[in-house]
């Protein structure tokens, strides 16, 4: 049985300008011990789909799904009390901005121990011991002293390590890392990714790694799903995706990798992800796709079979074609 199964998840926001579909029929499947990467430009609905699972969206959001189960629990009609027993314990999440994700008014120790206090039956001394263990685990030097530090005394990388320690406090079965390195310096990015990969290996937990950087995917994940404008447009094993992308959007993301640049300038994908007011009629990628024709612009594309990476495209690319 898979750890997390999500079928046909949609999220609609009730905004001043009417309903806006931020996530549109996404499927997600994660087994125990998996590392799944979700890739897509900013605004593709990656964060919203994860927050929907965690139950952290504001009341303006309407969540629908054919199935949304975690560890045998149906997340769809889980009451708030029951959900609070799951999140932060068996399923936890770290975020893009580590510096602003820690509460400036409380010490690092307080914030780590808080998770232990509400989920586990440990006494004070045990909590302190476990907090120190966790800080060692995520590579924070001098943990005993750092427990008393306030977030503003930490660098971005250290803050993210603290966030990871907090998320791992109750030995979760699934860790969701939402762009954990985007806000960090390049050298620190690699360290945090290595740390996440090591911790995943050590604990055997499942990891969903959200990123907009294909480079991060190559280094860390086993399986990738590419998301665009709220839809999943392709899903493959990492190796296959890099050597044989089927969706034009995936191909374009790969072409934008620095090491694949053939010209002096990095090729970027012209245009932006459509938002609430400029959603195209047919294929959502059609305004930016170089293969788009009239059919693409009029009819939403079907989902191709698994050997074509479940690509949501009328004309999926196959290896023979030149994609660069």
Contacts with ligand ADP by CB under 6 A lie at: 13, 15, 20, 22, 40, 42-48, 58, 60, 275
Q: Which does 47 bind (CB under 5 to 8 A by kind): ligand ADP, ligand SF4, another protein, none?
A: ligand ADP
Alpha helices for 68-107 (secondary structure H): 80-86, 98-101
Q: Which stretch binds another protein (CB under 8 A): 24-32, 90-98, 201-209, 272-280?
A: 90-98
Question: Minimum Å distance from CB 282 to ligand SF4?
Answer: 7
Q: Which is nearer to ligand SF4, 116 or 289 (CB)?
A: 289
Within the chain, how many helices (H) and strands (E) appear?
12, 11
Strand ranges (DSSP E) for the chain? 4-15, 18-30, 35-39, 61-64, 67-70, 73-74, 91-94, 174-178, 206-211, 223-228, 231-237
Please work out the total of residues on this chain that contact ligand SF4, with binding judged by CB under 6 A: 12
Site for ligand SF4, residues 275 to 314, rule: CB under 6 A: 283, 285-286, 289, 291-292, 296, 301, 313-314
User: Taking the complex as a whole, how short is the minimal distance between the CB of residue 310 and Mg ion, in angstroms?
Assistant: 22
CA distance 268 to 252: 8
57 token code pair:
């969206």
Q: Which residue lies nearer to ligand SF4 by CB, 212 or 288?
A: 288
User: What does the alpha-carbon distance between residue 136 and residue 119 come to, in Å, rounded to a whole number?
Assistant: 21
Query: Which residues 26-65 are close enough to bind another protein by CB under 8 A?
Result: 54, 56
Rg over CA atoms, the chain = 21
Supply angle C-alpha 44, 47, 50, rounded to 5: 120
- Residues at the interface with ligand SF4 (CB under 6 A): 248, 283, 285-286, 289, 291-292, 296, 301, 313-315
- Residues at the interface with another protein (CB under 8 A): 54, 56, 83-89, 92-93, 95, 97, 100-106, 114-115, 118-119, 150, 152, 163, 166
């Amino acid at each position: 049985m898979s750890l997390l199964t999500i079928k046909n998840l949609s999220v609609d926001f009730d905004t001043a300008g009417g309903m806006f579909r931020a996530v549109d029929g996404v499927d997600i499947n994660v087994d125990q011990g998996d590392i799944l990467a979700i890739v897509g430009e900013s605004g593709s609905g990656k964060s919203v789909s994860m927050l929907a699972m965690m139950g952290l969206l504001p009341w303006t959001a309407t969540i629908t799904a054919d199935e949304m189960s975690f560890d045998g629990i149906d997340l769809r009609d889980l009451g708030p009390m029951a959900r609070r027993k799951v999140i932060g314990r068996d399923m936890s999440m770290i975020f893009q901005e580590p510096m602003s994700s820690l509460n400036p008014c409380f010490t690092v120790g307080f914030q780590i121990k808080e998770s232990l206090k509400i989920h586990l039956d440990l006494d004070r001394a045990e909590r302190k011991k476990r907090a120190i263990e966790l800080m060692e685990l995520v590579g924070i030097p001098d943990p005993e002293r750092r427990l008393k530090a306030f977030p503003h005394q930490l660098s971005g990388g250290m803050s993210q390590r603290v966030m990871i320690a907090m998320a791992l406090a109750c030995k979760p079965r699934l860790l969701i890392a939402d762009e954990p390195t985007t806000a960090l310096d390049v050298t620190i990015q690699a360290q945090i990714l290595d740390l996440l990969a090591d911790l995943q290996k050590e604990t055997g937990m499942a990891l969903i790694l959200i990123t907009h950087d294909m480079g991060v995917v190559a280094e860390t994940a086993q399986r990738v799903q590419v998301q665009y404008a709220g839809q999943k447009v392709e899903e493959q094993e990492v190796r296959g995706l890099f050597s044989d992308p089927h969706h034009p959007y995936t191909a374009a993301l790969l072409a934008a990798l620095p090491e694949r640049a053939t010209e002096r300038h990095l090729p970027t994908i012209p245009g932006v992800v459509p938002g609430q007011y400029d959603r195209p009629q047919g294929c959502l990628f059609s305004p930016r796709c170089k293969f788009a024709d009239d059919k693409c612009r009029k009819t939403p594309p079907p989902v191709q079979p698994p050997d074509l990476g479940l690509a949501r495209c009328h004309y999926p690319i196959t290896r023979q074609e030149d994609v660069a």
